[in-house]
Structure 1
Amino acid sequence: MRILLVGAGLSGAVIGRALAEAGHDCRIIDARPHIAGNCHTERDAETGVMMHVYGPHIFHTDDEGVWNYVNRFARFLPFQNRVKTTAQGRVYSLPVNLLTINQFFGTTLRPEEARALIESKADTTITDPQTFEEQALRFVGPELYEAFFKGYTEKQWGCSPTELPASILKRLPVRFNYDDNYFFHRFQGMPQDGYSAMVAAILDHPRITVDLDTLYHPDMAAQADHVFWSGPLDGYFDYRLGRLGYRTLDFERFTHQGDYQGCAVMNYGDREVPYTRITEHKHFSPWESHEGSVCYREYARAAEPGDTPYYPIRLVEEKALLEQYIDLARATPGVTFVGRLGTYRYLDMDVTIREAMDTAQAFSQGPTPAFLRDPL
């Protein structure tokens, strides 16, 4: 069959590789001049540092099948994300752990004592947290909420934490030990030569052709037996019902001789600091040595037409519009919507790859639906 895949990121590459190995001819197009989507990496010409061009991407998963898959195409080296935050004039360890608690309250508590302290500060009158703020107040209390979550969240999402669902905060653990590994998955690492090299290896198959700087046109679908769309869901329909909401990121790049901040990621929790974090890219490749350093100050804002979308907002208004686009998609034959943008869901890289693998398998077994997983 002739397969058209729109988007040369992880979804398009993984599906394309599987279908090419199954004997199908796959054409992959991307509007950007590079492969790998938002996890694109490249060497900085000035310093030689491996740059995460669209912000840091750290691979972590409990899915052994996905871990084996990425290691088939790249050599992964150990990397654990150890985030710090500057708040109220001091530096703390994230996620909130026993060191953070003892630092913040000036104590030397053991795990049981710290647990009791946090429980004493928590608002136990909140029995069913509905908003981000209620979730934070219920589980960490007002002081830690104000220091580490409130200002950062307002900057990241552009709205009050009272307008965000409690589910967002469930991604942020509180630990009553000294473990400051940001993630808790069994497999964690970073591809030695960057994500773009890994995606290039996935795409290296005689039945795959890749056309970059190429915009999708509906006429292309007529030349294919099936289309896999990893662009914005509303973009496929030319935004006819309106635009789904996204947050985007602006990066202010600067260089430094030596080590600028001593860690890969430094968050800034205070609302008065306009950026959410500073990332220092050479620390994402600790096996390399560079005198120069490249850093990004990261600013979040609402995405506008022409911006690179990063995070689906998925608040009440967006979910109502999303339902309408889902109905449109399901009524459109010959197209499967995949990935973060195509399904309007926040997906980590490992989940994106797993769903792409499963989508390719489903395609080989018969007619493929518009969505392998229900976007709602």
Structure 2
Amino acid sequence: MRILLVGAGLSGAVIGRRLAEAGHSCRIIDSRSHIGGNCYTERDAETGIMMHVYGPHIFHTDDEEVWNYVNGFTDFMPFQNRVKATAQGGVYSLPINLLTINQFFGKTLHPDEARAFIAEKADSSITEPRNFEEQALRLVGRELYEAFFKGYTEKQWGCSPTELPASILKRLPLRFNYDDNYFFHRFQGIPRDGYTPMFDAILDHPNISVELNTAYTPEMAAEADHVFWSGPLDGYFSYELGHLGYRTLDFERFTYGGDYQGCAVMNYGDRDVPYTRVTEHKHFSPWESHEGSVCHREYSRAAEPGDIPYYPIRLVTEKALLEKYIARAEATKGVTFVGRLGTYRYLDMDVTIREALDTAEAFLAGNDSNEAPPAFLKSPR
């Protein structure tokens, strides 16, 4: 079959590779000048440092099949993300752990003592948190909330934490030991030579053609037997019902003669600091040695037409519009919507790959039994 895949990021590359291996002809197009989507990495021309161009990407998963899959295309090096935070005149360890608690409150608490101490700080009168702020107050109390969550969240999402669902904070760990590894998965790492060579290897198949700087047109779909769309869900329908809400990021690049902050990621919790974090790219490749440094200050704002969408907002207004686009998608034949943008969901890299592999297998199985592929393997609802 002739397959058109719109987007050369994780979803398009992984689905395209599997279908190519099954003998299908896969045409992958991307409007950008490079493969890899937001995972794209490149060496900085001035410093030679490997840069995560669209922000930090640390691969972490408990899915052994996905871990083996990516390691089949590149060499991953061990990497644990150890985030620090500047807040209220101090530097602290994140996620909130025993060191953070003792640092912040000037204590030398043991784990059980810290657990009891935070329980006293927490607002136990909140039994059913209705929003992000109430969830934070219930979890850690006002002092830690205002230092590490309130200002950062207002900058990241552009709204009051009282307008965000409590579920956002339920994903953030609170630890009563000194474990400052931001993630808790069995497998964690970063490709030795960056992510771009991994995409090169995945796309290296005689049944795959890749066209960059190429925008999708409906005529392309007419030439294909099936389309896999990993662009914005509303974009497929030319935003006819309106734009789904996203946050986007602006990056302010600067260089430094030595080691700027001593870690890969430094969050800034204070509201009067306009950026959310600083990434120092050489620390994402500790197996390399660089005297100088290149960093990015990261600013979050509402995405406008033409911006790169990063984080789906998924509040009440967006969910109502999303329902309308889901209905349009489910009534559309010959196209499957995949990935972070195609399903309007925030997805980690490993989940994106898992869903791409499963989508490809479901397509092949349905093709064998003459069943039409669904619009979504995983519902965006």
Does residue 28 of structure 1 match 2:28? yes
- In structure 1, the residue matched to 2:377 is 372
**Fraction of identical pairs, as percent:** 82
Does residue 8 of structure 1 match 2:3? no
- In structure 1, the residue matched to 2:338 is 338
Is the partner of 2:72 in helix, strand or coil? helix
Deviation at 1:92, TM superposition (A): 0.2
- In structure 2, the residue matched to 1:226 is 226
How many residue pairs were aligned? Answer: 376
> Equivalents in 2 of 1:130, 1:77: separation in Å?
41
- In structure 2, the residue matched to 1:117 is 117
Deviation at 1:42, TM superposition (A): 0.3
Is the partner of 1:124 in helix, strand or coil? coil
Deviations 1:115-144 (A, max 9, x none): 001111111111111200010000100000
Deviation at 1:170, TM superposition (A): 1.5
> Equivalents in 2 of 1:231, 1:292: separation in Å?
37
Deviation at 1:368, TM superposition (A): 1.5
Paired amino acid for 2:347:
L
> Equivalents in 2 of 1:100, 1:355: separation in Å?
36
Does residue 162 of structure 1 match 2:167? no
> Equivalents in 2 of 1:280, 1:88: separation in Å?
22
Paired amino acid for 1:346:
Y
Deviations 1:7-56 (A, max 9, x none): 00000000000000000000000000000000100000110000000011
> Equivalents in 2 of 1:368, 1:71: separation in Å?
29
> Equivalents in 2 of 1:259, 1:344: separation in Å?
38
Is the partner of 1:67 in helix, strand or coil? helix
> Equivalents in 2 of 1:230, 1:161: separation in Å?
30
> Equivalents in 2 of 1:258, 1:104: separation in Å?
28
Deviation at 1:91, TM superposition (A): 0.1
RMSD: 0.4
> Equivalents in 1 of 2:139, 2:170: separation in Å?
10
> Equivalents in 2 of 1:227, 1:22: separation in Å?
16
* Structure 1 residues 126-165: aligned runs within 5 Å: 126-165=126-165
Is the partner of 2:99 in helix, strand or coil? helix
Paired amino acid for 2:290:
H
- In structure 2, the residue matched to 1:295 is 295
> Equivalents in 2 of 1:241, 1:130: separation in Å?
30
Deviation at 1:172, TM superposition (A): 1.1
Deviations 1:251-278 (A, max 9, x none): 0000011100000000000000000000
- In structure 2, the residue matched to 1:328 is 328
Q: Give ranges in structure 1 of 5+ residues lacking alignment.
A: none
Is the partner of 1:199 in helix, strand or coil? helix
> Equivalents in 2 of 1:161, 1:21: separation in Å?
47
Paired amino acid for 2:266:
M
Paired amino acid for 1:16:
G
Q: TM-score, normalised by structure 1?
A: 1.00
> Equivalents in 2 of 1:48, 1:75: separation in Å?
20
> Equivalents in 2 of 1:57, 1:23: separation in Å?
32
Does residue 250 of structure 1 match 2:250? yes
Is the partner of 2:65 in helix, strand or coil? helix
Deviation at 1:153, TM superposition (A): 0.2
Is the partner of 1:365 in helix, strand or coil? helix
- In structure 1, the residue matched to 2:178 is 178
Q: TM-score, normalised by structure 2?
A: 0.98
Please identify runs of 4+ aligned residues in structure 1 that moved more than 6 A: none
- In structure 2, the residue matched to 1:363 is 363
